[in-house]
Structures are given as structure tokens and as C-alpha cells.
Amino acid sequence: MVQTEERDDPPGGGAVQMRGTNQSGMRAYNEKLILTLIRRSGALAKSDLTRLTGLSAQTISVIMRRLEADGLVIRGEPQRGRIGQPSIPLSLNPEGAYSLGLKIGRRSMELVLMNFLGEVIHRSARTHRYPKPDQAIQFAHDAIGALISRLDSDALSRIAGLGIAMPFYLWNWTRALGVPDEAMADWRDADIRSEIASMYAFPVYLENDASSACAAEIAFGVANTPDDYLYFYVGYFIGGGVVLNRALYTGPGGNSGALGPMPVVGRDGKVCQLIEVASLSELEKQLAVQGLETSSLWEGTENWQVNAGILDDWIASAAAGLAHAIASACSLIDFSAIVVDGWLPVDVRLRLVDAISDELEKLDMTGLEKPEIRSGVVGADARALGAASLPLFARFLLNQKLTNRDAA
């Protein structure tokens, strides 16, 4: 399906009214509209879709028959009400479409295979000292081969594409990574999207890693998230995203929400960048100084082996820096909520959210509305899931971004 009209209606949130059109030539948009509403709200009957979209009952029936024939939706059990014929809820078919997501991080790479519901079916991962383009391409090729070998021919035909989430301008971060400039120089001329796209028939998309994480929160987060919020993803370096009217705003260069360079006041009272106090690179550095192992930080978030005192100190420093960043951001845009997620164990993320709220209470917020500080719900998989969601939104669902990047 090809979208014939650009709209700024993003996924995320509950069942809100989104208007369709009964005019001819709008099949693609109306199909995406209906699939997006079902994805947001769960199973919906035709009567619900008629009410939510403003489309005629006949138009809804035609579209639903087509989507069912294409294997994108499935019928549920009839729901009997007090009067009239029983309604039949329709939901997304988990096997209706699949997508691949590649996360290229500063300490690890991961590739996931996701179904139409956003559930991870298979995954492959590896850690590294720092990423190299040729190694990333080889990893992607090997992992894609291993993952899709598990699919039958019908599932293979339903792969919508591959999304790539990675930091932009990787060659600028050699000093922070502690590697020589020449180690990352190849990224200046690397076109990893085109390189990988040349190997496969499906389209390949590219997005900033933190923006991808934010897109995953929009797509797979809870229904009661506010329309506008600032999103922080705590990874090796902290990043984030700006959500306006439930859509990810990436800006003309695709780098809006690059929150790491924001000036903040550290616990010592000196001005520094947020990236220096609220990134996992700082936690890794503190562990290394004490001669403690750091590899468990990047192998997963379930088995961290982190000294309790060092972790407490890092949470306190990160929370103080984040509170200052939030106060600054809210003076520019009146965000009603701040969402904090990251490559963190759930208990650490919740502790960080509580600490940020405490630190905000210490700041002078005169003239500003204090936002609600929320924990993200996607977690450590956010970047990979955000990458994998890119092909699904391009082909089947309404766009979750205010600016777009073209696919190969």
C-alpha cells in the first residue's frame, strides 16, 4: 500500500476521533487510518470505526473486507449487546506483517524481528569497544540471515522492511569513547543504509537512535500519555526526542531532541553538559576507576553487577542534571510531562524518575508549570523497536513523525 496523502496524525494514545474521507482515490490513507486506530485501541467493531473516522458504514465494510483478505486483521468472537446484531471486533493479525530493526550503539549492536503487534519474535546482539561500519554491515547481514531463516515463505513475503537506529555524526565522539580519531573516521563517508539496502529487496530506513527510541514510546507506550512531552533516553550517551501533538518532531536535519549538549549545573555547582552527568558512559567510567568490571552494563539490563554506592552517586548526579535540563526545556515549551527511559534495569529507571522529581522541587520554577515525571514503558528495547517500527508506519500505519526520511 502507498500513502497518497501526508497527514500529521501520529499513533500513540487512546481511541481518538480521526477523520477519514469517503472520496475515491483515498484507499491507502483510509486503510492506514483504520489500522492505526485498531493498533492504538485494540479490537474495534465496524460501528466503532464508523464513529471514530466519520466514514460511511459501507466504506468501512469494504475496507475491512480488503484488510481481512490481505491477512492484516482478524475477526474476534461476536459481542452480543442488548439490541441488534452482535458486533464482531476486529484486531491486528500478529502475523499480518513483520519488520526488522537494527540498533547500532556505541557499545553494542542488536537486530530484532518484530511482528505486527510490536512483539519481538527473534533477536541477535553483540557488544563491541566501538562501532565500525564494515562490522555493522556484516553483523546485520549475518543476523538477518539467521533470523529470517526461521520464517516460512508466507512470513517472508510479509517482511515490510528494515529500520536502522544509530547515533548521527559518530565520528565526532571519539574522545568521549576513548578511541583515536582514525578509529571512527570511516563513518564520515559510510552510507550504511544504502549498503544494506543493496543486499535485500525490502526497503531500508534510517533514524537517529534516540529519536527511534522516542518513536517506540509513541507507538507502543500507554494510552494516557499526554499529547506533548519531552522524552529522555539514557544510553551510553543521553539523548531524547520532542513529541508535539503526539508526533515525533525531528526537525529539518533529523536531530531535534539531541539533549546531550544542553548546559546544566552539576552537583558541584559548575556548568557542564547534560551528557557528562546523565549518561551511562559516566557510570562506566566511575566503575572502571575503582577497578570494577563494566561489561555487564552492555550485555543486558537484567544482570547488572554494579557497586551500590557508585550507582547511588550516579543516580543523584544524573537526576540533578536532568532536573536543570527539564526546567530549561519547559521555559521554551510548556511540556506537561517528561518521559524517562533508557538502557536501565526497571528498578534503576524508577529510582531515577523519583530522584528527578525530588530535584525539581529544589529548583526555582517560578513562572513555570512543573511537569509530571513519568517512566517510559518500552525500556531497553526502545531503540531497536523504534527502528523496527519505521517500515510498519511507512507501509501500514499513519506517520508518527512531523518530518520524514525517505526509504531506499
Contact yes or no for 234/352 (Cβ under 8 A): yes
82 vs 405 pLDDT, higher one: 82
pLDDT digits (tens, 9 = 90+) for 44-57: 999 999 999 999 99
Q: What is the mean pLDDT of residues 76-85?
A: 67
Domain stop point among 92, 109, 141: 92
Same domain, 83 and 182: no
| Any domain includes 316 | yes
What domain count does the chain have?
Answer: 3
Distances (CA, A) of 180 to 65, 105, 191, 197, 239: 58, 18, 21, 30, 23
**Residues 354, 259 share a domain:** yes
Query: Would 162 be classed as within a structural domain?
Result: yes
Residue 407 lies in a domain: no
Query: Is 253 in the same domain as 366?
Result: yes
How many whole angstroms separate alpha carbon 59 and alpha carbon 70? 17
**Band (179; pLDDT cuts 50, 70, 90):** confident
pTM of the entire structure? Answer: 0.83
Q: How far apart are CA 238 and CA 274, in angstroms?
A: 8
What is residue 82's predicted lDDT score, i.e. its pLDDT? Answer: 53
Same domain? For 309 and 237 the reply is yes
254 vs 169: which has the higher pLDDT: 169
Are residues 189 and 330 both part of a single domain? no
- At 391, list the grid cell: 517500515
Q: Is residue 9 assigned to a domain?
A: no
Helical pair 308-332 and 280-289, crossing angle rounded to 10 deg: 150
Query: Is residue 116 domain-shared with residue 170, that is, in the same domain?
Result: yes
Q: Within this chain, do residues 253 and 290 fall inside the same structural domain, yes or no? A: yes
Are residue 40 and residue 184 in the same domain, yes or no? no
Do 228 and 242 touch, CB atoms closer than 8 A? no
pLDDT over 70 at 2, yes or no: no
Can you give the three-state secondary structure of 331-375, one letter per residue? Answer: HHCCCCEEEEEECCCHHHHHHHHHHHHHHHHHCCCCCCCCCEEEE
Same domain for 260 and 274, yes or no, is: yes
Give the 3-state secondary structure of residue 233.
Answer: strand
Phi, psi of 273 (to 5 degrees): -95, 150
Bridge partners, 247 (sequence order):
244
Contact between 338 and 241 (Cβ < 8 Å): no
Res 23 pLDDT > 50: no
User: Are 59 and 102 part of one and the same domain?
Assistant: no
Q: Final residue of a domain: which of 66, 92, 118?
A: 92
Report the CATH number that the domain containing residue 127 is assigned in CATH. Answer: 3.30.420.40
Examine residue 241 and state whether it is found in any structural domain, yes or no.
Answer: yes
Rounded distance between C-alpha atoms, residue 293 and residue 290, angstroms: 9
Distance between alpha carbon 158 and the CA centroid of its chain, in Å?
22
Length of the chain measured in residues: 408
**Please, what sign has the CA dihedral across residues 345, 346, 351, 354?**
positive
Among residues 64, 92, 120, the one where a domain terminates is 92
* Chain segment 324-374, per-residue pLDDT in tens: 999 999 999 999 999 999 999 999 999 999 999 999 999 999 999 999 999
Evaluate if residue 401 carries a pLDDT over 90: no
Is 400 within the bounds of a domain?
no
Torsion sign over Cα 171, 177, 183, 187: negative
258 and 357 both lie in a single domain: yes
Q: 406 in a domain, yes or no?
A: no
Q: By the 8 A CB rule, do 206 and 377 touch?
A: no
pLDDT in tens, 256-304: 788 999 999 888 888 999 999 999 999 999 999 999 989 889 988 988 8
- 108/51 same-domain check: no
SS3 readout for 18-62: CCCCCCCCCHHHHHHHHHHHHHHHCCECHHHHHHHHCCCHHHHHH
Within-domain flag for 403: no
H or E stretch at 142: helix 133-148
Q: Which residues contact residue 385 at a Cβ distance below 8 angstroms, ignoring those fewer than 6 apart?
A: 101, 112, 114, 118, 120, 216, 219, 220, 378
Domain residues for the domain of 288 are 222-377
More confident of the two residues 116 and 6: 116
* C-alpha separations of 313 from 9, 233, 274, 287, 345 in Å: 42, 19, 16, 11, 16
The domain that holds 77 is classified in CATH as: 1.10.10.10
